[in-house]
Amino acid sequence: MFPAVIKAQTSPEVSSVIDTTQIKIGEQLHFEIRVKTDTTALVVFPEGQTFTPLEMVEATDIDTFRTEDRFDLIRKYALTQFDSGHYTVPRQKVVINNREFYTDSLRVTVNDIAVDTTAQKMYDIKPVQEVSGSYSGWIRFLLWGLLGALVIAAAVYWFFIRKKPLTEEEKEALLPPFDRALLGLKKLEESRYLIQSQYKEYYSELTHIVREYLEEEIHISAMESTTEELVAKLEMLQEAGKLKLEKSTIDNFKAVLQKADLVKFARSRPDTRVAEEDRKIIEHVVVRTREAIPEPTEEELLQQEAYRAELERKRRKKRRITLAIAAGCIVVLLAGAATVYFGYHQVKDTVFGHPTRELLHGEWVSSEYGYPAIVMETPRVLRRTKVDIPDAMKEAVSANQTFTYGSLMGSFHISASVTTFRQGVEFKVEDAIKGAVATIEQQGAKNMLVKQEEFTTPSGAKGIKVFGSMDIIAVPGSEKTVKANYVILNFNEKGAFEQVTIVYHRDDRYAPEIEERIINSIDFKNQ
């Protein structure tokens, strides 16, 4: 009988549009997806990097427009590409009420930026240049470290050391029990409990104040005691002479507690004037209880003094722990920053020390050794060492002078020797080199890899450089070995054979620099 209009549910519509198909490298194009559907439909737009090979820079929020009983949902995407070429924006999936719909794929061209080489000057690529390590930025590092330390120190002071302003609750908690009880009764008098007929809350607060006071002041368990138990404890203290309280005061106190029990548990509603009188009775009980407490004995005073001293000791201990933690945090921060800036090994060796690092950065000595003299710079002075000459060589050798630092089994070894021969003796450098290698093997070296090449010092002296690797015994008397590198420099100057030997562990980070500095300083004096 009544006319009605019935509309069939129409199918959703999904379309897409792009603002341009030509962009330059790095520019953005805007891709828009539009969905027309019913107002009750659940629509899920593409999320994430679904536009590959193009990169999605940004996706806007969904714009919603209502047209009669349908929604127009629009979402825009900013896309870009940093390589030139032709690209296809892939079909994008839109899910509507668990049904999948796809947009059309689109063709996009990314163009290069034109460069006018006639107006733009062209330059060759700069050659590779070595840059030595430098700590020129140590001032900036130091300033950042100090700033971080100041921030940590300020935070420790603000949160742990500084005396923070107390809140009202904290100030009340620091008051003596008597003053706190009177303050609580004063606030109860000014409250709106009685005006709003909240008698249960009024009497609950009233009994809580007096019970808390009795528990703190005369040290009895008042909070969990019933009315009868609490009154019995007060009477026992009175009879024992530990609480000089009148019987009438106890009776009045008992009456107020019983009335409070009726209000809290039996829903009794006393007159407002009676409630105010009960508060005054409790205030009188608090005052009389304080007056009734005997003066503390000398022993009790001593116990209180010891207790206060213990509290002060604990406060000092806590302050020291806090300062130690703050100092530790500062040290850890500085150590971490130094490790990041200088490197782990540099910081570790600086703090804990390293034998060859101390040699490298210590005070070097320039000296002459033997005759004809070898002049060179070393981290330590070389000491004269007596070397036994084999019987077969005694007739050919006129003199031998050897100077050493360290041992072959140590972390770093240097030796310099000058050998002169008698007139008419034919000397071969190759035989001397073989003898030097054999001597090292006799001292415990194994698996020697020998390389040989001609060598010229920065001062112009020519010689033969023998170098390589070997295994040396780490601890005398054991079979454990470590990898080591060695260098033997051989020179034949004015009828004398000069030899410089350097041996160090292969994994030593500082030894190669020491070796280079020693070799570059070698010179000879023949007068």
- With a CB cutoff of 8 Å and minimum separation 6, the contacts of 79 are 28, 29, 30, 31, 51, 54, 55, 56, 57, 89
Q: Give mean pLDDT, residues 158-169.
A: 72
Task: Indicate the SS3 state at residue 450.
Answer: strand
Among candidate residues 489, 488, 402, 408, the one with its CA nearest the CA of residue 449? 488
pLDDT at 526 over 70: no
Q: Give mean pLDDT, residues 29-39.
A: 89
CATH code, domain carrying 91: 2.60.40.10
450 domain residue, yes or no: yes
pLDDT at 167 over 80: no
The whole-angstrom separation of Cα 78 and Cα 32 is 9
- The pLDDT value recorded for residue 6 is 47
Tokens 């828009």, located at residue: 32
123 domain residue, yes or no: no
Question: Between these two residues, 123 and 506, which has the higher pLDDT value?
Answer: 506
Question: Between these two residues, 254 and 524, which has the higher pLDDT value?
Answer: 254
- Check whether residue 76 and residue 198 sit in a common domain: no
- The pLDDT value recorded for residue 204 is 92
Asked if the bond preceding 379 is cis, omega within 30° of 0, the reply is: no
- Check whether residue 99 and residue 241 sit in a common domain: no
Total tally of structural domains belonging to the chain: 3
CATH code, domain carrying 378: 3.40.1000.10
- Check whether residue 391 and residue 480 sit in a common domain: yes
Tens of pLDDT along 38-83? 888 888 899 888 888 888 888 998 888 887 778 888 999 999 988 8
- Check whether residue 365 and residue 245 sit in a common domain: no
**Chosen domain end from 111, 129, 163:** 111
345 domain residue, yes or no: no
- Check whether residue 280 and residue 362 sit in a common domain: no
- Check whether residue 471 and residue 380 sit in a common domain: yes
Which residues share a beta bridge with 111? 24
- Check whether residue 405 and residue 521 sit in a common domain: yes
Q: Are strands 397-405 and 365-369 parallel, antiparallel or unpaired?
A: unpaired
Percent of the chain with pLDDT over 70: 86
pLDDT at 160 over 80: no
Q: Give mean pLDDT, residues 153-174.
A: 73
- The pLDDT value recorded for residue 70 is 83
The whole-angstrom separation of Cα 281 and Cα 252 is 7
- Check whether residue 359 and residue 284 sit in a common domain: no
Length of the chain: 527
- Check whether residue 359 and residue 288 sit in a common domain: no
Question: Between these two residues, 505 and 387, which has the higher pLDDT value?
Answer: 505
- Check whether residue 376 and residue 508 sit in a common domain: yes
- Check whether residue 216 and residue 106 sit in a common domain: no
Domain that holds residue 54: 13-111
Helices (H), 293-385: 298-342, 344-352, 355-361
**Chosen domain end from 90, 111, 132:** 111
Per-position b or e across 190-202, b if 16+ CB within 10 A of its CB:
eeebbeeeebbbb
3 domain residue, yes or no: no
- The pLDDT value recorded for residue 421 is 77
Q: What ranges make up the beta strands (E) of 387-480?
A: 397-405, 412-421, 446-456, 462-473
CATH code, domain carrying 234: 1.20.120
- The pLDDT value recorded for residue 386 is 82
Tens of pLDDT along 185-234? 999 989 988 888 898 999 999 999 999 988 888 888 888 889 899 889 88
